Amino acid sequence: MSGPLLLAVDGITVDFDGFKALDTFSMTLDKGETRVVIGPNGAGKSTLCDAIIGRVRPAAGRVLFRGEDLTGLSEQAIVERGICRKFQAPGILAGITARENVALAARRDRSWWQAFGKGIPAEEQASVDAVLERVGLADRAEVKAGELAHGEKQWLEIGMVLATGAELVLLDEPTAGMGPAETSRTAELIRDLGDTRSVIVIDHDMSFVEQLAAPVTVMHQGRFLKQGSVEAVRADPEVISVYLGHSA
């Protein structure tokens, strides 16, 4: 089900005052692929996202997206190329409604001189509605984002990420703080995404990872450790020792 190569992380190293959060880490992702990245605390999962979206600058290595080197581009330029990320803690704008949040993300022209208007431009209305529908917030659209339930906030942020039209979506612990029912709804949502987008999911909730039924990359201390199906990875003794061993 996967197509040509979309993303190549090529030997990147991120150094925080001598502590290597990422150490010559590499991975690739194909178009339309969903990949789960797991690893114990401090394995460098979030830093990997940071490096892809330009939040940290790697000391060495490159990030190639559709063959283009992203290192050195500004955050906005990377979003324009088609990558968007959902943060661990819901990054929504609490003072405006869910619909306005999505509309902000859905803007095609994000320059400041296009901002002197009220409401949502008519041509963007449909896509905003579609996103709200997709993340199951259509009937909560007029609620202030800050007043949504925790799970709804997570979905709203996923919706915002989708609304940017990103081809590659990074989801950093999308189920943090969710109950089992919400978790499986989220898994369903992410599985659906696989039709149109490439997704990297970071999580360490194994039951959620299983529901995603996607290939898994395991990280440890900033390095690549293993890659394979959920079952294969779970059975791997090395993974058990560094990852499951830690959490046990």
Q: Which residues bind another protein (CB under 8 A)?
A: 16-17, 19, 21, 47, 53, 55, 74-76, 79-80, 84-85, 87, 89, 91-96, 100, 104-105, 107, 110-112, 115-118, 146, 160, 164
Instruction: Give residue 241's identity as a one-letter amino acid code.
Output: S
Using the minimum distance from each CB to another protein, give the nearer residue, 55 or 234: 55
For residue 174, the minimal CB distance to another protein (Å) is 15
Using the minimum distance from each CB to another protein, give the nearer residue, 48 or 214: 48
246's enclosing H/E stretch is helix 245-247
Concatenating the DSSP letter of every residue in 37-54 gives EE-STTSSHHHHHHHHHT
Using the minimum distance from each CB to another protein, give the nearer residue, 164 or 198: 164
Using the minimum distance from each CB to another protein, give the nearer residue, 21 or 218: 21
For residue 211, the minimal CB distance to another protein (Å) is 26
Using the minimum distance from each CB to another protein, give the nearer residue, 159 or 230: 159
For residue 100, the minimal CB distance to another protein (Å) is 7
Alpha carbon dihedral 98, 205, 54, 62, in 10-degree steps, equals -150
Instruction: Give residue 79's identity as a one-letter amino acid code.
Output: V
**Cα–Cα distance, 79 to 179 (Å, whole number):** 31
Using the minimum distance from each CB to another protein, give the nearer residue, 118 or 195: 118
For residue 166, the minimal CB distance to another protein (Å) is 9
Tell me the C-alpha to C-alpha distance, in Å, between residue 84 and each of 122, 127, 211.
24, 17, 23
**Cα–Cα distance, 145 to 98 (Å, whole number):** 5
For residue 207, the minimal CB distance to another protein (Å) is 27
119: how many CB neighbours lie within 10 A of its CB?
9
For residue 59, the minimal CB distance to another protein (Å) is 11
